[in-house]
Structure 1
Amino acid sequence: MLASVAEYRIAARRRLPRLAFDYLDGGAEDGDALRRNSRAYGQWLFKPRVLTDVSRCSSAMHFFGREAAAPLIVGPTGLNGLFWPRADELLAQAASRANLPFVLSTASTSLLEDVRAAAPQGDLWMQLYVQQDRGIAEDLMRRASAAGYSTLVLTVDVPVHGKRDHDTRNGFRLPLRLSPKLLADCLTHPHWTWQMARAGSPQLRNIAKSVGEHADLSRHAAMLSRQMDLTLGWTDLEWIRRHWSGKVIVKGVMGGQDALLAVAHGADGVVISNHGGRQLGSTFAPLELLPGIVDAVRGKTEVFIDGGVRRGSDALKAVALGARGVLLGRAPLYGLASRGAAGAGEVLALMMEEMLISLRLLGCQGMGDLGPAHVARDDSHGADPV
């Protein structure tokens, strides 16, 4: 096990060709939102209590009545087969072994049924993009329900894809086309190249199955990037409910007004998210908006958050400020991209270990003891956003 998520990031960068690493690591435009996500956690400092009994300490948390080992969720990330073969199945297994929920992306490279078979006891959630042909989303919901997925995560912040300069510079297109630049990069990353050659090009298999077609990466990637349903609105949660009987979370909320609309339309939860800084190049970090959104909803729906979490202590800050749980995106992917299944499991174990250490140092026996009194904003960074 490496010492930190930052070291797994370095290892992932060494193993992956630049095209793949930049796709994993990069943000929109100049990367301002991406950097702000991580910096936001440094603007909040802990206020520990001492001389409290922490001999029995637990990071356990309940999500919709089901216990998880920590307030962590392995969040949805797409095209993971670019980093390691069968990546989604390996991530689901790692999450299940750690007793954490796993969210499968619509843009996954493993069938949702295969992910369920890989993690038969895991708490699996399904992330949903809604395309112009709503029959695709309806079929995905039907299949996920039949496979025992418990929760639907409706992502609403991608009506169009954000401007990602790194993909333009690298000539990133799907399927990958071998150019002299990519060939040179592949030759200097032989392990990745050998794995990709052996496993074949990653495909968006769930979309292919729901469309009723053979895997065709170029066609199905185009469907995701150019055929999203631009008419999707709050009243469409009623349509979702007609096709999904489980819990529904709206992901991509960045303000109190939208959070209240989610409550009004019956969402069971919201995820405060700027899509990992991959959509709008200039926007607030989710953590900066968390206290205001928690105040706005006043416990009427569960509030989750993602973006910029690289330490177990980061997740504790979010929980102290009112988040029910934290979705992890890049952190477990760094582990997966560097060391496969072992690396993904190590990153989750590392972050949970960091959480327990910080809980004890804060004087807390469990998540129920953690609250706003345990954190304070560093005033040297300026006032909170309105």
Structure 2
Amino acid sequence: MTALVQRQMPRPAELLELVKFRKPRLDGRARRLDEALTIHDLRAIAKRRTPRAVFDYTDGAAEGELSLARARQAFEDVEFHPSVLRSVPEVDTGTTVFGGPSALPFGIAPTGFTRLMHTAGETAGAGAAGAAGIPFTLSTLGTTSIEAVGAANPEGRNWFQLYVMRDREISYDLTRRAAAAGFDTLFFTVDTPVAGARLRDTRNGFSIPPRLTPSTVLNTLPRPWWWWDFLTTPTLEFASLTSTGGTVGELLDSAMDPSISYEDLEVIRGLWPGRLVVKGVQTVEDAKNLADLGVDGIVLSNHGGRQLDRAPVPFHLLPKVVKEVGGDLEVAIDTGIMHGADIVAAVALGARFTLVGRAYLYGLMAGGREGVDRAVRLLSTQIVRTMKLLQVSCLDELTPRHVTQLARLTPMPR
């Protein structure tokens, strides 16, 4: 016999207990950022609020953008293997890298034209990094000077990414200035002998000087907030290079030099008093050569997919490089990181550290300094949650047994 359900009229007081209405938020920026639950959400906000040419410069990569797509896919093609019944009420995300501490196993990667994405630019990135206790890296083609970044992050760790320019004295002077400003690590960049073919930029007329199309102009008109920021703040320039002379186009051209060699590395090592890291390594053989030369570290990187399309995927390369040289130098990795779990997977496979570029820039475009803070918090929260689900209490407990790289692209026998 079916029992009858006793019914009654709803009581308003009980409904109020069950349903709590969210208070309206008058601050549109704070509301948008709070509603962003992933880096992909920040990317969507950035795309809405930034002119297409600027967004595409940040979001895009070289030629068919295969390198970037493969790098992101490689992190998605990960299977985790958690432990069970281990008490992990708290986790420690701190690490040491290149001679100093970091509160999290990632830092902010060097990016050029950063004040174009948002006028807060590198100042926002350096300030957010300092507040989070992680390193910030300034690019040679940054739009805030070495000294201004040092002032924005006076107690934190600042790193400098160096292009060896055709006029070597410019690079030497930048090296000395970074050392004088207290930067503790130099990234000697080796993957830009010439500029990659970034087709989105060409189609958008994003060149030096700009060659705008009617559609590009129309796309910028509904975004007055971006124009207001851009037109009422200091002129966009390569701030560390303003004293060197030449137009922006000439400076860009001079930053790429196919004659860069091991001799240049030795010269810079003689000038630099801190940790020397080579950025842009893409083969095991080059990693072994650099280990033999005694550099302090390497960054496995294909420049965010912005140089050679179809370049090796850094995350795929990581276990082989760590096996060969991990005992001799510290190995870091960038390209394709969009989630804290990507960072955890990289650390488990032997990376000492990771660097995020676009993930930070999406936050910057979405909300300036507050957007960068949001991006860092999202990644931090994801790292902590992933570690707890794997049931590891610190980064040193992460090992290759926690991760399987699933095969999607497998090389043919030679």
| TM-score using structure 2 length | 0.88
SS in structure 2 of the partner of residue 249 of structure 1: strand
What is the rounded CA distance, in whole Å, between the counterparts of 2:115 and 2:57 in structure 1?
12
1:137 corresponds to = 171
1:168 corresponds to = 202
Q: Choose which of 222, 238, 253 in structure 1 pairs with 2:253.
A: 222
1:294 corresponds to = 322
1:186 corresponds to 2:220: yes
1:72 corresponds to = 106
2:181 corresponds to = 147
1:277 corresponds to 2:277: no
Letter in structure 1 aligned against 2:400:
P
What is the rounded CA distance, in whole Å, between the counterparts of 2:235 and 2:56 in structure 1?
18
1:339 corresponds to = 367
What is the rounded CA distance, in whole Å, between the counterparts of 2:226 and 2:409 in structure 1?
44
Structure 1 residues 384 and 366: CA distance shift in structure 2, 3 A: farther
1:294 deviation in Å? 0.8
1:199 deviation in Å? 1.5
Structure 1 residues 74 and 252: CA distance shift in structure 2, 3 A: same
SS in structure 2 of the partner of residue 361 of structure 1: helix
The farther-off stretch of 62-71 and 138-147 is 62-71
What is the rounded CA distance, in whole Å, between the counterparts of 2:392 and 2:404 in structure 1?
16
Report the RMSD for the aligned CA atoms in angstroms: 1.6
1:274-319 Cα deviation digits (max 9, x unpaired): 1001111112211011111111114101000001111101000000
SS in structure 2 of the partner of residue 8 of structure 1: helix
Task: Specify every segment of 5 or more residues in structure 2 that has no aligned partner in the other structure, as ranges.
Answer: 1-33
Q: Choose which of 48, 54, 64 in structure 2 pairs with 1:20.
A: 54
1:310 corresponds to = 338
1:176 deviation in Å? 3.8
What is the rounded CA distance, in whole Å, between the counterparts of 2:57 and 2:120 in structure 1?
18
Q: Choose which of 193, 196, 199 in structure 1 pairs with 2:233.
A: 199
1:83 corresponds to = 117
SS in structure 2 of the partner of residue 199 of structure 1: coil
2:41 corresponds to = 7
Q: Choose which of 157, 162, 173 in structure 1 pairs with 2:191.
A: 157
Percent of aligned pairs with the same residue? 39
The farther-off stretch of 152-161 and 257-266 is 257-266
Q: Choose which of 228, 232, 254 in structure 1 pairs with 2:260.
A: 232
Structure 1 residues 338 and 258: CA distance shift in structure 2, 3 A: same
1:4-40 Cα deviation digits (max 9, x unpaired): 0000000010111111011000011011111001000
Structure 1 residues 222 and 229: CA distance shift in structure 2, 3 A: closer
SS in structure 1 of the partner of residue 111 of structure 2: coil
What is the rounded CA distance, in whole Å, between the counterparts of 1:311 and 1:15 in structure 2?
22
1:328 corresponds to 2:356: yes
Q: Choose which of 341, 350, 353 in structure 1 pairs with 2:381.
A: 353
Letter in structure 2 aligned against 1:350:
L
The farther-off stretch of 188-197 and 248-257 is 188-197
SS in structure 1 of the partner of residue 236 of structure 2: coil
Q: Is the 8 A contact 1:315 1:326 kept in 2?
A: yes
2:19 corresponds to = none
1:54 deviation in Å? 0.5
1:319-366 Cα deviation digits (max 9, x unpaired): 000000101010010000110000001100110111001101101000
Structure number with greater Rg is 2
Q: Is the 8 A contact 2:204 2:213 kept in 1?
A: no
1:101 corresponds to = 135
2:285 corresponds to = 257
Q: Is the 8 A contact 1:16 1:337 kept in 2?
A: yes
Q: Choose which of 229, 243, 255 in structure 1 pairs with 2:271.
A: 243
SS in structure 2 of the partner of residue 174 of structure 1: coil
Q: Is the 8 A contact 2:318 2:351 kept in 1?
A: yes
The farther-off stretch of 62-71 and 288-297 is 62-71
Letter in structure 1 aligned against 2:93:
S
SS in structure 2 of the partner of residue 264 of structure 1: helix
Q: Alignment length, in residue pairs?
A: 379
1:64 deviation in Å? 2.7
